[in-house]
Amino acid sequence: MPGEASSASRPHATRWPIKGRATWPLMKGASWSLAVALVSVALSVSPFAVPDGASWVLRSTPTALKLRVTRSTTLAPPVVVVDGDAANRGILSIARNAATELAPLRGWVNNAAMVGMGTLHEADPEMVSRLFQLNVEGYFWGCSEAVRTFLDQRTGGAIVNISSFQARAAFPGWVAYAMSKAAVHGLTRNVAAEYGRAGIRANAVEPGAISTPWNSDNIARQAHPETIRAEMEGLSPLGRMGEASEI
């Protein structure tokens, strides 16, 4: 979604292609299964998805799944794991530095998010505050790290924000989460409009109901889990929940 920036803040429009290896930091949060799927799929088709090769930088915590990623990339470009809070600006900077030490930055994926339910009349202040910190501020400062690096390098680049269909659709009990995803939609459009002339692309992916551990656990906790699962499956034209590997 390239666009026109104001003349006062328009970035340098010259593109300086970089040959050789490239790095793609992936900031992950609650949806570790999606993070693993994103890396696995991208690396399996890396000659197509990233023509010059890629080194992925992850923010992660679970040791077992970290080893899973390591094993899956034995013969692929290296995966560097950076532990920390994806809403922390210092951690985002560390991830950016880890990536650029390997190769020029060419892309950035914001996938870290917290899932939380609630209503306006029964809101949990601590949950809402943490959700906005991770889902909104984390994405904002992640995009900031990526954009500043692309401009310093005088290269184009790509930002992918993993969002949700709740950025456009409203469901009872999801007010804070839906608001955070609508913010990601607005952020993505603004990045594209502001920096498109510098060759920086920004896109948001808005999945529907995906079969993740969080969703499976949430369904199992319901009084009528099969009914809830059927309702979630009915949201998709395919008549089923999506898989992380399909995103």
Active site residues: 177
Q: What does R_g of the chain's alpha carbons equal in angstroms?
A: 18
Residue type, 64: A
For residue 133, CA distances in Å to 80, 141, 183 come to 24, 10, 12
How many other CB atoms sit within 10 Å of the CB of residue 231?
Answer: 12
Q: Give the Cα separation of 207 and 242 in Å (integer).
A: 8
Residue type, 161: N
Q: Give the Cα separation of 246 and 222 in Å (integer).
A: 26
Q: Give the Cα separation of 150 and 152 in Å (integer).
A: 6
For residue 172, CA distances in Å to 10, 118, 166 come to 41, 8, 11
